[in-house]
Structure 1
Amino acid sequence: MSGSGVRRGGRAGGVLVAASVLLAAGLSGGCSTSAPSAPDPVDVAADADAYVYGAAPVTLARTRANMTCLLPVNELFNQAQLSGPDSRTVVAPNVDTLYSIAWLDLRAGPVLLTHPDMGERYFGFQFLDMYTNVFANVGTRETGPAAAARLIAPPGWSGQAPPGAAVVESPTWDAWMIGRTLVESEADLPAARAAQQQYSMRVLGPAVAGAPPTLPPNDCGDNPAPQALVASGPEYFDELSAILAANPPPPADRPLLDRIAALGVTAGATPSGGSPETVDALAAGMTRGDRQITAATATGDRVWRSLPDAGRYGTDYLQRAVVARIGLGANVPEESAYAVAREASDGRPLRGERGYRLHFPADGLPPVDRRGFWSVTMYGPDMFLVPNVLGRYAIGDRTPGLTRNPDGSLDVWLAAAEPATGTSNWLPAPEGEFVVMLRSYLPTDPSWTPPEPEPEG
């Protein structure tokens, strides 16, 4: 069901289907027998393609480096509190679930994950390879609530699993596990923690002979920021080359990897030490590639930007880079649907001082399975939570005290100042620009689109 509100210039609102990458580069003009011919357009685009290709794995590797300075690999960490403004490691944290995090290095051998019977509580363990593809989900939707064990195995593993443990093979030697345990209310937090504390993880070993090299050691306290890729200059490509060596990429990536090899971007190489001409090309490619990602992140002529291919990117490296920028760790769409809005129904950027209404008709709330949930979360333009006077960072189907209109519809107010209707349905926004994300866990209607934010002033 489409949302209500004024349409921009008569154009249809709704969810933007992500555009595929279109790179148009090259030299134009005539040539003569005395002048060199123009470079092939694909070769000219290779430096930007290399940057776009690396954006997701480098962002993930940097996130891993920062987190493993505090959390040892192959150990499960359970977050005891819901995320808040101080949660600034991974963009767009949700405030609906307790996170359980583990960074896996499967060179040490397979890892055994177990969980108790979770009853009616939503939970999920999501597994991502080093290229941010989701290769498995364990939990409410995929495997059910009953107590179970899963063995996460390295690529090509052929050992014997413990009795009753199903094997999940990782495509890469390093992997990221994100666990989510739903918190129904503030009063439910202790029970959610108790369930979380029954999760367990351990390495079974032995170490795998002939495994590829590990990722480079961390420089704790001086690791480059995951959200500032361009700032590293051509050394960014050294990071990408290290990832290629530690985690051989999918065979489908070979055509692009063959193209960017001419720039020195190969497994284990240091492209930043190449010829001045090549290094200059890499630097220019970073700028052009980053602009491509920024342009693809925009919503175009739609208010909401969806992530319909999250978790399964194939060779759509631009879409993969976009998700890494605005929602690193996004799950596959049947598990959770995401829609991001940066503009109002009038096409202007969302700003806290203006104020907006999200109007959900009585029969137009986000459609989710009874075991799932939905929420609208407020972020600053950098996709992190911002402190506010209520300490409220999301409104959803579990928010206490929401007021319905007489016809059963629901209005959510997005504004920096308290609306005239009071605080019950107010999601406080920062002054200046902001972003909202609507999450639907266990969505039941992929065609549903959120209502557009309607400006109040």
Structure 2
Amino acid sequence: MLTRRKLLQSAALGVVSAVALTPGPATAISDVTSEQARAIAKEAYIWGYALVDDHRIQYSYFIDTTNPEYKGPWNTIGHNTRLYTPADTTIQTINSDTLYSFIGMDVRDEPIVISVPDVDPARYYGCSLFDLWGHCDMFGTRTTGNDAASFMVAGPGWKGETPANIKKVFNMETTLGSAAIRTQLFNPGDIENVKKVQSGFKVQTLSAFLGRPAPTQTKVNFIKPLTVAEQKSSLLFFNVLNNLLQFAPTHPTEAELKARVAKIGIGEGKIFDPASQSPEMKAAIEQGMADAWVDISATAKKLDTGEITPGDCYGTRAYLKNNYLYQTTAIYLAGNAQPKEEVIYPFVALDSDGKPLTGKNHYTIRFAGDKLPPAKQFWSITMYNLPQRLLVANPIDRYLLNTPMMPNWAKDADGGYTFYIQKVSPGPDKEANWLPTPEGPFYMVMRLYLPSKEAQDGLWKAPKPERLS
């Protein structure tokens, strides 16, 4: 039973703890110096950002039934039957190429089974399976084909047998996660066909799949998430992280890291209360968060210039090798994403002179006929405003240029394409090749679905926008 002091702390911090978790009292940090606390806070922030930001999205999609973007409860499937627009604001840098189906995966008590129908071999689909850390595994067109099949997703402690009619088992590191199924839309008139494909997607608990009694369900309430802006500076970031660590068992490679961050009150079952800290210690931890953002911003610049690519920042733990800085930077900029074998995401943030893009200028971006983006499936270039990184409202409701639009584009003499990147129409004869911008800062993200090996390795480079005089 919680003491009155703990109840007051929980109310002050906005804490709603899991039934299985009884937090200890918040305590002042006393066994490290302020300099040590600053360094640990920086490390803990970069390490924990993916967990905290993923909770923000999961809370909107699977927990908060009042949210206009709510998809449904855990272990059910919610379909988007339209493309994303600027009205969708939960996920930054969302695509508007494919229709989505979402699953909030709760595998604390038992695995779940995701079943898919036969999908036309010409139509791409891919199911991304994300744990709370943002590590991604896949099934779909590239990895398992388009035949009907069932796939099982299990938590880190599951030891049961695999049913004979399960094509593949995926073991998550965390007991909560999410799945995003992308289904290709060939053109606007194809949307009813995509809805038919979506209607064949099914999710069940393993017990329901086998027709057996369900195990006792462990009930859980969830801590209220922070907004993207609050995540950048609020010390309550660490309290949200503490609450979420109950769903993320310690990975063997993180044992030493978790021992370090525990020195400043970070760990499962702990409460991090800023009011319990001395002014000196509170300032040190705030500075550690600021230090983290210095490194994140520097890494973002490397993505802008192409020194590193988004393909370096997404994938499994084995692929990322615990590079939390790369992963956190990419998640902040573009959310969770798929590994580079599935999709690459060249960022287009600077013009040919190395200057940031802004709607105050007019640009062209040209793809020569022999240098179109090398994608086996399809490619696109999508507009996002800054700093929000959301789709941009415009008079023609066009948020991207992609392969299905190709029949309408005006070709250059060599068979390539020149696109007009500007706020106002370039004129009726060029409007098919126009991607509208916001008034202020923006950036664009390319997507190459099933990219060539050259593109995966960063040898193919997206052209830079040329600023018109």
TM-score computed with the length of structure 1 as normaliser: 0.85
**Compared with structure 1, are the counterparts of its residues 122 and 332 closer, same or farther at alpha carbon in structure 2 (3 Å cutoff)?**
same
Question: Is 1:311 the counterpart of 2:315 in the alignment?
Answer: yes
Aligned twin of 1:379 = 384
Question: Is 1:394 the counterpart of 2:400 in the alignment?
Answer: yes
Corresponding residue to 2:42 among 44, 48, 56: 48
Map 1:337-352; keep pairs closer than 5 Å. 337-352=344-359
Aligned twin of 1:112 = 113
**Compared with structure 1, are the counterparts of its residues 84 and 280 closer, same or farther at alpha carbon in structure 2 (3 Å cutoff)?**
same
- AA at the equivalent of 2:191: L
CA distance in 1 between partners of 2:306 and 2:249 (Å): 38
CA distance in 1 between partners of 2:129 and 2:229 (Å): 22
C-alpha displacement at 1:354, in angstroms? 0.9
- AA at the equivalent of 2:365: L
* Cα root mean square deviation, aligned: 2.3
C-alpha distance after superposition, 1:79-122 (max 9, x if no partner) = 11000001111111111100111111102311111111112210
Aligned twin of 1:129 = 131
**Compared with structure 1, are the counterparts of its residues 301 and 352 closer, same or farther at alpha carbon in structure 2 (3 Å cutoff)?**
closer
CA distance in 2 between partners of 1:214 and 1:412 (Å): 53
CA distance in 1 between partners of 2:191 and 2:369 (Å): 29
C-alpha displacement at 1:364, in angstroms? 0.6
C-alpha displacement at 1:305, in angstroms? 6.4
Partner SS, residue 298 of structure 1: helix
C-alpha displacement at 1:207, in angstroms? 6.3
Aligned twin of 1:18 = none
Deviates more, 1:433-442 or 1:419-428: 419-428
**Compared with structure 1, are the counterparts of its residues 60 and 106 closer, same or farther at alpha carbon in structure 2 (3 Å cutoff)?**
same
Aligned twin of 1:102 = 103
Aligned twin of 2:285 = 282
CA contact (8 A) 1:303 1:347 kept: no
**Compared with structure 1, are the counterparts of its residues 301 and 327 closer, same or farther at alpha carbon in structure 2 (3 Å cutoff)?**
closer
CA distance in 2 between partners of 1:97 and 1:242 (Å): 34
C-alpha displacement at 1:208, in angstroms? 6.6
Aligned twin of 1:429 = 437
Write 1 or 2 for the structure with the bigger share of helix: 2
**Compared with structure 1, are the counterparts of its residues 339 and 42 closer, same or farther at alpha carbon in structure 2 (3 Å cutoff)?**
farther
- AA at the equivalent of 1:173: T
CA distance in 1 between partners of 2:358 and 2:242 (Å): 40
Number of equivalences: 411
- AA at the equivalent of 1:296: T
**Compared with structure 1, are the counterparts of its residues 374 and 300 closer, same or farther at alpha carbon in structure 2 (3 Å cutoff)?**
closer
Partner SS, residue 107 of structure 1: coil
Aligned twin of 1:7 = none
Partner SS, residue 99 of structure 1: strand
Aligned twin of 1:451 = 463
Corresponding residue to 2:169 among 157, 167, 170: 167
- AA at the equivalent of 1:292: D
Aligned twin of 2:28 = none
Corresponding residue to 2:447 among 419, 422, 439: 439
C-alpha displacement at 1:346, in angstroms? 1.0
Question: Is 1:325 the counterpart of 2:332 in the alignment?
Answer: yes
Larger RCO, structure (CA 8 Å, separation 6 or more) = 1
**Compared with structure 1, are the counterparts of its residues 66 and 311 closer, same or farther at alpha carbon in structure 2 (3 Å cutoff)?**
same
CA contact (8 A) 1:360 1:451 kept: yes
C-alpha displacement at 1:161, in angstroms? 3.2
Corresponding residue to 2:202 among 200, 203, 212: 200
- AA at the equivalent of 2:370: D
Deviates more, 1:162-171 or 1:437-446: 162-171
C-alpha distance after superposition, 1:301-325 (max 9, x if no partner) = 8268620221233321111111111
CA distance in 1 between partners of 2:248 and 2:220 (Å): 8
CA distance in 2 between partners of 1:249 and 1:366 (Å): 41
**Compared with structure 1, are the counterparts of its residues 190 and 204 closer, same or farther at alpha carbon in structure 2 (3 Å cutoff)?**
same
Map 1:407-418; keep pairs closer than 5 Å. 407-418=414-425
Partner SS, residue 424 of structure 1: helix
C-alpha displacement at 1:254, in angstroms? 2.2
C-alpha distance after superposition, 1:432-453 (max 9, x if no partner) = 1111000101001222110011
CA distance in 1 between partners of 2:304 and 2:131 (Å): 33
CA contact (8 A) 1:115 1:199 kept: yes
